[in-house]
Amino acid sequence: MAPRNLSHVTEFILVGVSDLPELQVPLFFVFLVIYLLTAAGNLGIITLTTVDSRLQTPMYFFLRHLAVINFGNSTVIAPKMLVNFLVSKKTTLYYECATQLGGFLVFIVAEIFMLAVMAYDRYVAICNPLLYMVVVSRRVCLLLVSLTYFYGFCTAIVVSSCVFSVSYCSSKKINHFYCDNVPLLALSCSDTYLPETVVFISAATNLFFSMTIVLVSYFNIVLSILRIRSAEGRKKAFSTCASHMMAVTVFYGTLLFMYLQPQTNHSLDTDKMASVFYTLVIPMLNPMIYSLRNKDVKAALKRFMTNPCDSFKSL
C-alpha cells in the first residue's frame, strides 16, 4: 500500500516524439500530413463501402469497420499530439490522459480482433465458397463486429482502471507523445506489480488469440489455394486475401516487435517509434493497401467521382 502523504497529480507533461525545439514545427507538418491522409483515406473507404451497392458484402462490411477503427485510433492520438508541437507547455490533464488511454485501448484492441475477423471471413470465402453467404450472414457480421467493439471497450475499462489505480507523485513527465500504459506506470511511486501484470496478460492474451485465428485461417487458405489446379484460379483466390495478408503482417509485426522484445533491451524511445507506426502510419497505409490492390474499390471510387448521385440512388 502506498504511503498516505503522496500527492496526487492533476496533470502530466507529454515529452512528445522529440523534445528538440528545432524539430517541433517540421514534425508538426509531417504528422499533420499523415493525419490528413489517414482521415481522407479511411473516411473515403467508409463512404464508398456505405453508398456503393456493389460493395455491400461481408468483406467490405468488415473493411468499413476497420476504417472506422483506424480513423478513431488516429483521432484519439493525433490532434493532441499536433497541438503539443506548437505550444511550450505540453500538458494533459489527469482525466484527459485517462480518457485518451481508454480511447486508444478501445480502438487498438478492436483492430487486433477486427483483423482476426477479416481473416476468418477470407477463410470461409476461399475454403467454403458455396456456404459463404450462409456462414457469414448479415446477422453473423453484426454479431462479430459488435463483440469486437464490446471486448475492446471492456479491455479499455479494466486496463486503464488498473493503470490509474496507482499513485503518481512529483514526477509527471511522460516520455511519450500520448498517454500509454508503460510510460505512465514508469512514473508511479507506488507498487506497479498488479497493473503491469494486467497489462502484460491482456496484451499477450489478445495477441495470442487473434494471431491464432489469423494463422489457422491463412494456413487453411494456403492449403485450399494449393489444391486449385489452374494457375489462374490460384491467382484469383490469392488476390482476394493479398491485401489483408499485407495489412496483418505490418500490424502484427509492429506489435510483436514492441511487446516481445527482451526486458534488457526495452526502451521507451523504441516504443515511441513503434507507437508512431501503429497509431498513425498503419491507419494511413491501410486504405492505400486495400484500395490500390482492389479492383472493386477502385471501380467504386471511379463511379463515385464520375457520378456520386448514382451511388446513393443505388442503395
Write down all domains in the chain, each with its CATH number in brackets. Answer: 11-313 (1.20.1070.10)
- Residue 35 cell numbers, joined: 493525419
> Under 8 Å CB-to-CB from 286, ≥6 apart: which residues?
41, 42, 66, 67, 70, 247
Residue type for 270, please? T
pTM check: above 0.75: yes
- Residue 231 cell numbers, joined: 494457375
Tens digit of pLDDT at every position of the chain (315 positions): 334 444 477 889 999 888 888 999 999 999 999 999 999 999 999 999 998 888 899 999 999 999 999 999 999 999 999 999 999 889 999 999 999 999 999 999 999 999 999 999 999 999 988 899 899 999 999 999 999 999 999 999 999 999 999 988 777 889 899 999 988 998 888 888 999 999 999 988 999 999 999 999 999 998 988 888 887 778 777 777 888 888 888 888 887 776 666 555 556 667 788 889 889 999 999 998 888 667 778 777 778 777 666 655 444
Residue ranges of alpha helices (H) inside 128-230 are 132-135, 138-163, 181-185, 193-227
Q: Angle 200-105-45 (CA atoms, 0-180°, nearest 5)?
A: 135
What distances in angstroms separate CA 312 from CA 12, 303, 304, 306, one per listed residue?
Answer: 47, 11, 9, 13
